[in-house]
């Protein structure tokens, strides 16, 4: 019985810690601009109607902040993205509805 209580407490502690982490907003770099993005295939993305290449080390993060492969993403998304010095898309964060509604940070 005591082991069952301990296991239940452990499960509840893990679940509550995940809820706390989910409530913390993701930090975005100040240079990451909000834009509309659609993957065009072959390492290309359409960003605000402008076709750009993904950089060789590009990372795309979904709404759960997991890194996803470009080949696994379809459709158009509102994102925050960093463009590198070569004009290539380097980092992308797909935004949740709450992040879309939030005002841009002051620079």
Instruction: Look at residue 78 and tell me if it is in a domain.
Output: yes
Instruction: Look at residue 40 and tell me if it is in a domain.
Output: yes
So what's the pLDDT on residue 20?
47
Instruction: Look at residue 12 and tell me if it is in a domain.
Output: no
pLDDT in tens, the chain (107 residues): 787 777 676 776 666 555 444 567 899 998 999 999 998 888 899 998 899 999 999 999 999 999 999 888 889 999 999 999 999 999 999 999 999 998 887 65
Neighbouring C-alpha atoms within 13 Å toward the C-beta of 77: 21
3-state helix, strand, coil in the chain (%, to 5): 30, 40, 35
Tokens, residue 77: 């998304």
So what's the pLDDT on residue 56?
93
The model carries a pTM of 0.75
Instruction: Look at residue 39 and tell me if it is in a domain.
Output: yes
Q: Of the candidates 49, 48, 37, 41, which has an alpha carbon nearest to the alpha carbon of residue 91?
A: 37
Counting the structural domains of the chain, the total is 1
């Amino acid at each position: 019985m005591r082991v069952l209580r301990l296991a239940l407490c452990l499960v509840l502690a893990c679940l509550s810690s995940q809820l706390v982490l989910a409530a913390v907003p993701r930090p975005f770099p100040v240079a990451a601009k909000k834009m509309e993005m659609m993957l065009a295939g072959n390492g290309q993305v359409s960003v605000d109607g402008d076709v750009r290449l993904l950089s060789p080390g590009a990372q795309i993060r979904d709404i759960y902040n997991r890194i996803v492969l470009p080949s696994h993403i379809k459709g158009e998304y509102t994102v925050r993205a960093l463009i590198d010095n070569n004009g290539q898309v380097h980092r992308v964060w797909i935004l949740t509805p709450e992040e879309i509604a939030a005002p841009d940070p002051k620079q």
